Structure 1
Amino acid sequence: MPFLPEHPRFKGITLPPSGWVLAILLATYIFTGLIGHDPWKHDDAVSIGVAYDMVVNGNWLIPQLAGNPYPDAPLYYWTSAITAHLFSWLMPLHDAARLSSGIFTLLALEFILLAARELHGRENAAAAPLILAGSIGFLFHAHEAQPMLAALTAHTAAYWALTLLPRRPALATLAFGAAIALGFLANGLLPVLTLLPVTMYTLWQSGTRRICALLVTIAIALALFLSALWLLPLRMASPYFFSIFLQSELDSLTKSVSFFSNTLRYLNLLLWYAWPALPLAAWALWSKRRILRSRPMALPIFSFLSVLLILGLSVEVRSSAALLLLPPLVLLAVPGVATLRRGAANAFDWFGMMTFTFLMTVVWIVWSAMVFGWPRQLARQAVRLEPGFVGHFSLMAVSVSMLATMIWFWLIITSPRSPMRGIMHWMAGLTVFWLLIVALWMPWIDYGKSYRPLSASLAKKLPEKFDCIANANLPDSILASLDYFDGIRTVSLKDAAGKKCHWLLVQGEARDLTSALSANWHEIWEGRRHGDRSENDWFHLYRRAAK
């Protein structure tokens, strides 16, 4: 950068980062935000709810959510239940369960490093985990209870195994078989299906196709064996759950979607989701356009296009499913870091430093508004968004945040010139910014997103003894939250048992439930989270009048 000294006065880290520097950076990135907040909506609450049921009720073979079978692959829930069991003495169970996401994130970063080393050499490989961790979409899912993280780990391990196959066939065979089994047990058929095209492409490109085909066949046999260790006991214990699991997997891949518009939505999502992997991959395509048929370029290109095709054909746009697009995009982007022209590299470095310095300043100013009431306009806005929130000064949070901020400025001043400096500053800036958000804003965020107060308010309105509560339209995340916080379980109104219940819990407007409300129901409670304003976010509890 022109405004930085060529030889800084204080020696900084070496680039590419390695050893304890890379370990501390990745550890800070991975474990910041995993703990310290309640289960939130969607996948976070559902995954913790399934793991909670395993720990409390021992339903390890057949995953259950709030007392009902939950047809999904079990590996992530097993891992979450194990970490919850091991560390619940040290932290709340939901925080301990979420540690499994940190384990899978760490493994995914390690495997993408190994795959990049095989494709692009040791000197460029360090860029791969930095690009993956620096991808904005990956940041959000890496810090929630998300089963797709296990599938992502399976994909990165599979790419490593496929790139390793010509050099160390025995190890690659074992790794690929384990990766296929991991993908299936983590998220069902989708991770396996998206790996098939790149596997066939690897065989076609191999110079020894017969030998490689034999090794892949052995790997698939190993994957089937490992998967059968769960499927066969499941089939024997509950044929019904076995059938609905397989049917749900098939249904999820055969939904009627518009391929063209669905694919465009995924590409549109990647514009921010895969930043900065996407522009670096685009530059790599342009700078290496003469050798696109070479193995280091062709394999990630083919893999990205095939995964995009499968997602566009069969999976409605989901942020979690887009995680499977990141590994091939990262492997394609790695050579783009080293080949960036000096002006473009300086511009990328400048953009990252200025962007995150500005965002960190905003975090500090908004924190001041939440805790000290200055600036007043921001303070009023914070209270308006989360009514009733009162900010408190935390010496520990402020000390950690100040230290992280000072490290950030030290890093950008002392980093030596290197093609790796731009992506290093980007990933480090994202990590420090995320740490400031967690340390300074998490009480405010958790206040608005947690369902704990809502569940406690509902529990107070219920008598000590009652027959059952029917639910008409509650999503799985709400069922999981109510069960986890206060042991409140409901029965579907569509079931025969639900129609006999004297209590009814509804989310949103109840006028659509004409068949249920015609049975002389009376509303006795309503509630919502602090920041929810829409009528669809309100919850209503009804009681059937005695005949």
Structure 2
Amino acid sequence: MKPVRLPAAATIALPRWVIFALCLLYILPGLLGRDPWKGDDASSFGVMWTMAHGGLQDWLWPHIVGLPMPQEGPLAFWLGALCIKLFGWLVGDATAARLSTACFFLLGSVSVWYSTYLLGRRTEAQPLKLAFGGQPEPRDFGRTLADGALLIYLGCLGLLLPSHETNAESLHISLVAYSLYLGVRLLDAPAKRVGLRLGICLGLMALTRGWVLPLALIICLSILSVYLKQKYHRILLGISLPAAVLVTAAWVFAINIIHPFSSSPFAAWMQWNTRQIDMPNLDSAIYFFRYGIWFAWPAWPFAAWAIFAWRKQEKALHIALPVTYVVCVTALALMNHYPEQSILLPILPPLAMLAAFGLPTMKRSAINAVDWFAVMVMTGFAAIIWFAWLAMMTGWPAGVSKKVLSWAPGFTPEFNIFTFILALAVSVAWFRLVYWRISRQPSVLWRAVVLSTGGVILSWLLLMSLCLPLINHRITYARVAQDIARQIELSTHKSYNCIDSNVDPAQRASFAYFGELRFSGFLDQHCDLLLLQDSRSLQEKSAKEMTPEDRNYRGPWERIWQGRRAYDKDESFTLYMRKQP
């Protein structure tokens, strides 16, 4: 027997303008008005920026002004570089690159919504008919479930930062969601055209973050076909798999023909892929469950309940397909001995879809518990942000103000009326939402997650409006890059051939972008300048400071500058000039 019994009044869908506004409020803060951040955000932008200002070889061989970056794949960088080409002159290169991130997010959100909508319309997903009628229509039920899935997807904590960074992960998760949509279409009515689209999607996924997940998905979907006693696995293996291989092979063929920079990223790309497959061990299992609990909140409790509630209909497509994706991604995460949060991202779209089918079966007490948890945590977090901002702007309480400003030394707060009004309006809207949820006790299905999603949007928007200048001041390398550029101009009058360096990819991208520094390329060069990153704590422990010659940089060298970011007391940079014989 189906576990769902509810009236048509519970399937009132959200207005389209509300869904659109929520998506904009979610994605726009954090994309505009900031520098590239340290980590994958800056390094990925560096690859895009290098491509946009380079030639064909730069597009085929991903690198950051000479530093090879073959690990993931070129597709996300191509799209970001294309946005820089089209819009960089208008909004700046960094913001233009993040326009691609916004498009990726919209693709993922639309895919999650339509996938759930199609599954929710199916006969086996419909609620039981009521004795005197009044049950919802299939389209109304599917649309309400789709609204719930989208709210859950937006409310997942693990999605928040990657969806606002300039990296391949944001495109990867969106392609996973789109492949889910195509999987629903294929399993609903097997067609060669849909199989071809799915293969192209999986090929693009391989060009984004490797071939391991696309290959695993084809295998798992084929197993699901056999389990459901259907024959669409013939389309998967006969059309989708060859199409995916051809899409990926196009890039491999191009780099083998053109041979950019007299080398090829293929070997390093294959090595990065194959190292993700190994036997599961305890460390990977501990990492998965330790970080997965908060990463997939609030999706996983609803998804777990959906599996339990629909346990007698395990072959129903709205349960079997998302579970197949979840099992596939989980297995790959456990086999990866190099744990990182990006391996958990593909689990979010199927979890959100699965969680939506748990909403109609949840007990009121469980829904209220999730709501109260969201209200207490998110309201408390928002209050902390407001309190820290008021202390920073007014200087009272003095202790709190000093503590906040010490987090970013050298930062001077400035009042911005626009961000203040925006933050105030969103805070008022949050309290109105909480009042609506508590006072009216609505019966609509998506009531269970509206506070969790609203709280995430509230907290992120407050951070990215009130605190963005402070965060940007702390994280950016812009000031260090400009200091280095000024010193180089004073010492060389820009008459140097290149800079050799040991800085990491994010720092290299930031220095090249903000300081217009010319780093060494693929081929070994006899550079006039040398930029080294050091750890001050390690220097203090060593008997003497390591010279460039100690690091196998042929000299002799003369130190002409040393500096660091204001807040970072451990990281330091030293600039050397080669002494003339």
**Contact preservation (8 Å) 1:46, 1:65:** yes
* CA apart distance, 1:358: 1.9
Query: Which residue is 1:540 aligned to?
Result: 574
**Contact preservation (8 Å) 2:368, 2:448:** yes
* CA apart distance, 1:105: 0.9
The alignment's TM-score, normalised by the length of structure 1, stands at 0.90
Q: Which amino acid aligns with 2:219?
A: P
Using the alignment, how far apart are the partners of 1:395 and 1:239 within structure 2? 50
522-531 or 153-162: which moved more?
522-531
**Contact preservation (8 Å) 2:213, 2:329:** no
Q: Which amino acid aligns with 1:468?
A: C
Shift in CA distance, 218/313, structure 1 to aligned 2, threshold 3 Å: same
Query: Which residue is 2:519 aligned to?
Result: 490
Q: Which amino acid aligns with 1:506?
A: L
Query: Which residue is 1:525 aligned to?
Result: 561
Q: Which amino acid aligns with 2:54?
A: N
Give the total of aligned pairs: 528
Q: Secondary structure at the match of 2:34?
A: coil
Query: Which residue is 2:344 aligned to?
Result: 322
* CA apart distance, 1:257: 7.9
1:135 counterpart = 2:165: no
* CA apart distance, 1:27: 1.6
Deviations 1:412-461 (A, max 9, x none): 22345133113112112211221111110000000000110000011111
Q: Which amino acid aligns with 1:39?
A: P
Using the alignment, how far apart are the partners of 2:42 and 2:63 within structure 1? 13
The alignment's TM-score, normalised by the length of structure 2, stands at 0.85
Shift in CA distance, 445/467, structure 1 to aligned 2, threshold 3 Å: same
Query: Which residue is 1:174 aligned to?
Result: 196
Quick one: percent identity of the two aligned structures?
Answer: 29
Query: Which residue is 2:484 aligned to?
Result: 458
450-459 or 226-235: which moved more?
226-235
Out of 223, 235, 238, the residue aligned to residue 244 of structure 2 is 223
69-78 or 428-437: which moved more?
69-78
**Contact preservation (8 Å) 1:62, 1:241:** no
Deviations 1:235-281 (A, max 9, x none): 21117777432432334432678632113202211111111112222
174-183 or 33-42: which moved more?
174-183
* CA apart distance, 1:389: 0.8
Deviations 1:42-86 (A, max 9, x none): 111112111112222233333331134432422111211222222
Query: Which residue is 1:445 aligned to?
Result: 471
Using the alignment, how far apart are the partners of 1:258 and 1:38 within structure 2? 39
Out of 443, 450, 469, the residue aligned to residue 499 of structure 2 is 469
Shift in CA distance, 234/546, structure 1 to aligned 2, threshold 3 Å: closer
Query: Which residue is 2:66 aligned to?
Result: 67
Query: Which residue is 1:154 aligned to?
Result: 175
Using the alignment, how far apart are the partners of 1:526 and 1:191 within structure 2? 44
1:392 counterpart = 2:396: no
Deviations 1:490-539 (A, max 9, x none): 338x9742xx43422111247466244784534322222222122xx211
1:435 counterpart = 2:461: yes
**Contact preservation (8 Å) 1:262, 1:317:** yes
Where do 5+ consecutive residues of structure 1 fail to align?
1-12
1:296 counterpart = 2:315: no
Query: Which residue is 2:19 aligned to?
Result: 22
**Contact preservation (8 Å) 1:35, 1:96:** no
**Contact preservation (8 Å) 1:353, 1:429:** yes
Using the alignment, how far apart are the partners of 2:303 and 2:374 within structure 1? 17
* CA apart distance, 1:181: 1.8
Q: Secondary structure at the match of 1:320?
A: helix
Q: Root-mean-square deviation (CA), in Å?
A: 2.5
Where do 5+ consecutive residues of structure 2 fail to align?
1-9, 122-141, 540-544
Task: Output aligned runs, 1:92-491, within 5 Å.
Answer: 92-121=92-121, 122=142, 123-170=144-191, 171-209=193-231, 211-214=232-235, 216-238=237-259, 243-254=264-275, 259-314=281-336, 316-415=338-437, 417=442, 418-462=444-488, 463-464=492-493, 465-471=495-501, 473-491=502-520
Using the alignment, how far apart are the partners of 2:307 and 2:11 within structure 1? 28
Using the alignment, how far apart are the partners of 2:530 and 2:339 within structure 1? 33
**Contact preservation (8 Å) 1:206, 1:212:** no
Using the alignment, how far apart are the partners of 2:344 and 2:314 within structure 1? 24
Q: Which amino acid aligns with 2:266?
A: F
Query: Which residue is 1:51 aligned to?
Result: 48
* CA apart distance, 1:134: 0.7
